[in-house]
Amino acid sequence: MSILMEVVAEQWEYRELLVRMTARDLLLRYKQTVMGFGWAIFMPLVNTAIFSVIFTRVATIDVGTPYPVYAFCGLVAWNFFASSLRFSVTSLTSNPSLVTKVYFPREIFPFSAVLVSIVDFAVSALVLVALMLYYKVAVGLPLLMLPVVVLAIVIFTAATALVISMANLFYRDVKYLFEIVIAVWMFATSVVYPIGRVGGRLGALLALNPLTHIVDAFRDVLIAGHAPAPAFWVTAAASIVLLGAAWAAFHRAEFTFAENL
């Protein structure tokens, strides 16, 4: 507990650096691009269109709501997670001069990647609202729980970002395996189809995926109009524990980062 209090206090002390690093990464991500923030909207829309054709024309499934809204909602949450990790995995190894020569909390690198992706998440969310209005999807009181669900997504993502950025520093194979894992992980999560429809042993295995419970909760409060399932609250609590453990491990290992670059 004392270690966690120490690292949180240190992070707060360097909060201005985190803000500046986030602003730098945000500018670099869209520098010299024509669409800029439009990419945060374009890719989820393209994927939604593709999966809408598949699951409404080829293999029809009933998700209880207009499928484009269902798919886009899942993709907004998923893209935030995947994008955060995609930039976090090399966040330490791509900044060797800063990691080896200047002292500051090294977790600023993966955390800034997560914060940049929150901006993309917010931009995509505006399109999600437009889709919900277009398809006349009503909202209810459970919408008040949306900040809690979003916070759970951020906490789980931040914990995972710490782990993979540190792992890639020690084992450079991680960045190559990442794209394979993230692709499989997407289809093992309730992003574009309900995992609950998968039965048998595979369904029981997929039910252990914590991200499914978070994505389902995101949909529950936004488009289904009911409170998150109990599994979400278990996942949220476990995410807090995971973040604490990952942050403590990261802090212990950061003094060996320089010799591995």
Higher pLDDT among residues 1 and 218, named by residue: 218
Q: Number of folded domains in the chain?
A: 1
What pLDDT is stored for residue 222 in this prediction?
A: 93
Q: What is the largest CA-CA distance in the chain?
A: 57
118 and 81 Cβ atoms separated by less than 8 Å = no
Rounded to an integer, what distance in angstroms lies between the CA atom of residue 158 and that of residue 243? 7
182 and 84 Cβ atoms separated by less than 8 Å = no
> Tokens 């829309």, residue?
45
Higher pLDDT among residues 249 and 102, named by residue: 249
For residues 215-219, give the mean pLDDT: 95
What pLDDT is stored for residue 113 in this prediction?
A: 92
Does the pLDDT of residue 4 top 80, yes or no? Answer: no
- DSSP assignment of 185-228 equals HHHTTTTSS-GGG--HHHHHHHTT-HHHHHHHHHHIIIII-SPP
Domain encompassing residue 85: 2-260
Rounded to an integer, what distance in angstroms lies between the CA atom of residue 4 and that of residue 38? 38
For residues 55-69, give the mean pLDDT: 83
Average confidence score pLDDT of the chain: 88
With a pLDDT cut of 90, the percent of the chain lying above it is 51
Residues 161-182: tens digit of each pLDDT: 999 999 999 988 898 999 999 9
Residues 90-130: tens digit of each pLDDT: 998 888 888 777 778 889 999 999 999 998 899 899 999 99
**pLDDT category, 50, cuts 50, 70, 90?**
confident
66 and 224 Cβ atoms separated by less than 8 Å = no
* pTM greater than 0.95: no
Two structure tokens written together for 109: 């690198």
81 and 121 Cβ atoms separated by less than 8 Å = no
Higher pLDDT among residues 18 and 1, named by residue: 18
What pLDDT is stored for residue 166 in this prediction?
A: 93
Rounded to an integer, what distance in angstroms lies between the CA atom of residue 161 and that of residue 89? 7
